[in-house]
Chains A and B, each alone.
Chain A
Amino acid sequence: MKEVVILSGKGGTGKTSIVGSFAALAQKKVLADCDVDAADLHLLLNPSITEENEFWSGQVAVIDDEECTQCGLCQDVCRFDAIKDFRVDPVPCEGCGFCSHICPVEAITMKESLSGHWFISDTKYGHLVHARLGIAQENSGKLVALVRQQAKQIAKRDGLDFIISDGPPGIGCPVISSLSGANLALLVTEPTLSGIHDLERVRGVCHHFGIPALVCVNKYDLNEDNTHQIENYCLNQGVEVAARVPFDNTVTEAIVQGLPVVEYSPGRVTQEIESLWQHVTRALEQ
């Protein structure tokens, strides 16, 4: 069983459209949406949820008004400025519990908080594990780890060959959580200076954690000079450019129809993504 995670650094470069297409192209796979903040893969795969679970994670401090003597010690020690006027604001509270340990009258308790939900769904392409982090919640990294673990269990149980993960943008906590221990990262970029800058950072993260990477230049014909720049960068870094996908309105049309682009239109985009998936499977076999 091999796991590929699709990342980009910069958002909006086309990760989800590529993963949706891989869902249609790959045999014997399970899909994982690791963008738990703003998950979109379900919009292409039309899942029916077979299992819904609560994600309890982290804690929030609660002050008992009747016990509290308003000594102010909790406010003094809290480094997250989460306590004002002897009330806890659950948004900045990081659940460290410092206040509850030092309260002289034991007026503060820590309560588990419901941080989101995760789902196992059936789609016509196979199982999908996805999640929704609660609004303004923390611990996205833990929820991502949970999604991947569930996908792995399904892959083991059903004897599947591939786990295909749609990753979040950025380079921080949820990205590292999506990436650690994966077999391959596919980095989807676009030929803009922002896209190049962000590719270099996310490729740095892959390098840092020793995960091999492939690059896909999406909408490569929007600025071919920048595409050359990306290719040169990749050459210097020893990273293979596995595909150059042209800009085409059919990609957006497919999203509006709620379909993977390879199922919507047989054009150049589809051909390039098909060849990209071949590339990815070869890289995973190595």
Chain B
Amino acid sequence: MIISVASGKGGTGKTLVATSLALSLRERDKVQLLDCDVEEPNDHIFLKPVFTRSEAVAIPVPEVNEEKCTHCGKCAEVCAYNAIAVMKQKVLVFPELCHGCGACGYLCPEKAISEEAKEIGVVESGSSDGIGFVHGKLAVGEVMAPPVIRQVKEHISREGTVIIDVSPGTSCPVVEAVKDSDFCLLVTEPTPFGLNDLVLAVETVRVLNIPCGIVLNRAGVGDGKVEEYCQKENIPVLLTIPLDTEIASFYSRGVPLVEGMPQWKVSFLGLSDKIREIVNERSSDTER
């Protein structure tokens, strides 16, 4: 089962939920935690994994063989991203605009374009106390997170439970991380900002046709509008975590909630049971 942990708004507690869920579940299941927030990965701060492997993430960008090139301009014409400009004597390639689709090389009539790998990040994998751990890091100054996320997800094992920590927002990196999940947990807080961004996140997972449920974090601040919305939209609130200085203090020091306050383990196991129930119900519905 693949559970992604997303939010819309940043800083609502995705990392807290993803790490505590992984730590609670490992006692009864094989667990893998994938940190797909490749712009700002934080799970490693809490789980302190030992990394055994590191792979570069590269995207193919065109390299033009000027000896073969006749400057016909076909490559620039087919490039949808304006990543190639053909001058009279020279071809200019802008690797930071290239999406690596490969059209230019395939369509070059002179076969003058080959591809070279441009490194945009790294994927590190290892383990932390029995939890399989993988994360990706987009290199500073690079723009394209999705290829790094795709490479992290290549490590998904089909056994046990896979937990994916997602970046905030609703655009391509979120879609890339969340798609193919069996369930998406949306972590939010009971404020107008939390609600506004939750609505966007719910729309996103609905486009992807993934069932979702809510973790309401910092309950007690703000107002009751998130709960009203969830009720109206028939989205289950699966876990409520109160605003609590002790919880915030453990978080600030990089201590997972269920390690600092082990009494929370039961709640996270209950959360996982509820998710499993929803996922099983849904798959038996589709079979029928």
Residues of chain A whose beta carbon lies under 8 Å from any beta carbon of chain B: 8-13, 16, 37-38, 40, 43, 59, 77, 79-80, 91-92, 94-98, 101-102, 133, 135-138, 140-141, 168-176, 190-194, 197-198, 201-202, 204-205, 208-209, 222-223, 226, 249, 252, 255-256, 258
Contact = CB atoms under 8 A, between A and B. Distances in A.
B173 A172 contact: yes
Given A59-B80, A170-B168, A256 B192 contact: yes
Given A10-B10, A12-B9, A98-B101, A173 B40 contact: no
Interface stretch (B62-70, B102-110, B123-131): B102-110
Contacts of B203: 135
Interface of B: 7-12, 15, 37, 39-40, 42, 45, 78, 80-81, 99-103, 106-107, 138, 140-145, 167-175, 179, 191-193, 196-197, 200-201, 203-204, 207-208, 221-223, 245, 248-249, 251-254
A9 to B, nearest CB: 5
Contacts of B249: 222-223
Contacts of B101: 79-80, 94, 96, 98
B102 A37 contact: no
A198 B169 contact: no
A136 B204 contact: yes
Given A9-B40, A194-B45, A169 B10 contact: yes
B170 A133 contact: yes
B191 A201 contact: no
A255 B192 contact: yes
A193 B254 contact: yes
A255 B190 CA distance: 11
A170 B10 CA distance: 9
Most buried by B among A175, A201, A208, A252: A252
A28 to B, nearest CB: 27
Most buried by B among A13, A137, A141: A137
A207 to B, nearest CB: 8
A234 to B, nearest CB: 17
Contacts of A193: 42, 45, 252-254
